[in-house]
Amino acid sequence: ADESSGYESESAGAERAPAGGIHGRQRRARTAFTSEQVCRMEKTFQRQKYLGPSERKKLAAALQLSEIQIKTWFQNRRMKLKRQI
């Protein structure tokens, strides 16, 4: 039976090698954050550039995202700020 991991990035009959290489796992589809999620994360970022585990957990639950998604967003946002400065 043809099984799919359920990720949107997979397409039937794709001729490309997996993004993770021969031995790597397939990459997760890119998260499209809603404008409400981005707005809430931006507001939080203006108050504090780094989140501790408890703040990250609360924000993830409130926005229905994983803690890893929150952590990565904040890392990327700090890099964006660094580039702007």
Whole-number Å distance between alpha carbons of 85 and 38:
21
| 12, part of any domain | no
| 26, part of any domain | no
Looking at residue 79, which CATH number applies to its domain?
1.10.10.60
For residues 40-54, give the mean pLDDT. 97
Residue 47: other Cβ atoms inside 10 A:
7
How many domains is the chain partitioned into structurally? 1
pTM: 0.68
8 vs 38, residue with greater confidence: 38
Query: What pLDDT was estimated at residue 22?
Result: 67
Query: What pLDDT was estimated at residue 28?
Result: 78
**Among 51, 84, 83, which Cα is nearest to 69's?**
51
Domain that includes residue 54, residue range: 35-84
Query: What pLDDT was estimated at residue 29?
Result: 84
Classified as helix, coil or strand, 34 is: coil
3 vs 20, residue with greater confidence: 20
